Amino acid sequence: MTGILLISQIVLVVIITIAVLLQKSSSIGLGAYSGSNESVFGAKGPGSFLAKMTFFFGFLFILNTVTLGYFYAQESSASVVDNIAEATDVAAPAAPAEQEAPAVETNTSN
């Protein structure tokens, strides 16, 4: 489930970025490259349409972010240690018998 939400999060980010860049600003932005859109979006132009579209996708982005946070919080509350089996049928190997190591002689005369 989180995979689908994460992919939709990335798609929403791309859509919001495009919608924001297409809006007119004081320096016109990338709206100058979109051509004459006034006839497509009505007499007021793309301004109100793009503003509504940006708000809608922004709302979906926030909702998706909260949902992703909820699912990740649920996943992080489970511990790997909780899934470990208490009893196992595997016996531990016996420790090898200790042998005395031979003494190391040091020669102090030069």
Residue 57: which of 25, 11, 24 has the closest Cα?
11
User: What is the mean pLDDT of the segment spanning 19-41?
Assistant: 61
Task: Give the CA distances from residue 18 to residues 10, 66, 80, 103, 110, in Å, rounded to whole numbers and listed in that order.
Answer: 13, 22, 41, 79, 84
In whole angstroms, what is the distance from residue 76 CA to residue 49 CA?
Answer: 40
pLDDT per position as a tens digit, 67-101: 999 998 887 776 667 667 666 677 777 877 777 76
pLDDT value at residue 42: 56
For 74, half-sphere exposure in the C-beta direction (CA atoms, 13 angstrom radius) is 7
User: What is the mean pLDDT of the segment spanning 24-40?
Assistant: 55
